Amino acid sequence: METAKTKTAFVLSGGGNRGVAQVGMLRALLERGIVPDVIIGTSVGALNGAVIAHNPTVEAIDHLESVWLNLDREQVFPGTVVSRMWNILRRDDHLVASTGLAELIAAASPAETFADLKIPLRVVTADLETGEECVLVRGPLAPSLLASSALPGIFPPVDLHRRTLVDGGVVNLVPISHALAGPINRVYVLDISDPISDRLIRSPLDVAMRAFAISRDQRFDLERQWVPAEVDLIVLPAPVDDRNFYDFDGAEAIITEAYERAKKTLTAHQSRRPVQTSDSTPRRRRRWWSRSNRAPTR
């Protein structure tokens, strides 16, 4: 939607509480009039993306920011140590009930189905039984977002479309490949996934996020190599975020820093002048996305 000829995709990665940075990134994009033709999201990126897909305006960003600023640990991870130990003793498939996560989804996005969205949204999940990447594009929205955010072992899996679905970050934390499934020639990547670092591992969630980071780095680097030369790829940088996975404090400062970083990146990209050479030949598009499965609806 940037120009009559430009087809734009937003790719929003997963990253837990780091998803707050995407609020600032989205604000910077929308303030410049950059509105996507399609949105692809994994985990928290799917949640943030759904808000924009329903209402691609700065006012929607104001609402999303308010939701993030009012989040706390008890809302997202309800329960006590005793209740979580009881879940383990009962051999449940999760430590934390997803009630808080479901309430967060309801507060963030009022849309009931994918059909209610103004912009097409692709929600990346993982099929726990088959190991397949499953991209949801139709049907009820809230259960789809819940499935994409259901961190295995922490939140319960979601039964949807005759599948048992969990967090899409298990299979594709930064789903660039799905942006290339259509006639897209510009991709903005809002990557807030946890980088591999020397940060201390303090909890089981930190272990899970570190594992995702390792998987993410390998696949992300590989997918970037296969982006066709004619596709303009812009990666918006996330602020340094050393918070524990449970920590939702400091959201306002992170949003502000992400916003400023995104503005600088967009300004630098806008001022760049691509150079065409006679020997430049577009790389053939590899259909990486054909290996994933779009869930049917009943």
DSSP readout, 98-117? SHHHHHHHHHH----BGGG-
In which residue are the tokens 């006012």 written? 59
pLDDT of residue 82: 42
DSSP readout, 120-163? -EEEEEEETTT--EEEE-SSBHHHHHHHHT--TTTS--EEETTE
Among 103-112, 124-133, 140-149, 159-168, where is mean pLDDT lowest? 103-112
Residue 271 annotated to the active site: no
pLDDT surpasses 80 at 246: no
pLDDT of residue 95: 66
More confident residue, 111 or 216: 111
Evaluate whether 150 touches 156 at the Cβ level (below 8 Å). Answer: yes
- Helix, strand, or coil here: 129? coil
How much is the average pLDDT of 266-281?
62
125 to 115, 135, 171, 273, 291: CA distances (angstroms): 19, 6, 8, 37, 13
pLDDT band of residue 6 (cuts 50, 70, 90) is confident
How much is the average pLDDT of 238-247?
82
pLDDT surpasses 80 at 275: no
Evaluate whether 150 touches 196 at the Cβ level (below 8 Å). Answer: no
Amino acid of residue 157: P
pLDDT of residue 295: 58
Q: Return the CA Rg of the chain.
A: 19
Pick the CATH number of 8-294 from 1.10.3720.10, 1.20.120.10, 3.40.1090.10, 3.40.1030.10: 3.40.1090.10
In which residue are the tokens 């696949």 written? 219
Residue 43 annotated to the active site: yes
Among 34-38, 205-209, 237-241, 290-294, where is mean pLDDT lowest? 290-294
Domains of the chain, residue spans: 8-294
Q: Which candidate in 37, 127, 167, 194 is catalytic? A: 167
Q: Which candidate in 13, 37, 43, 149 is catalytic? A: 43
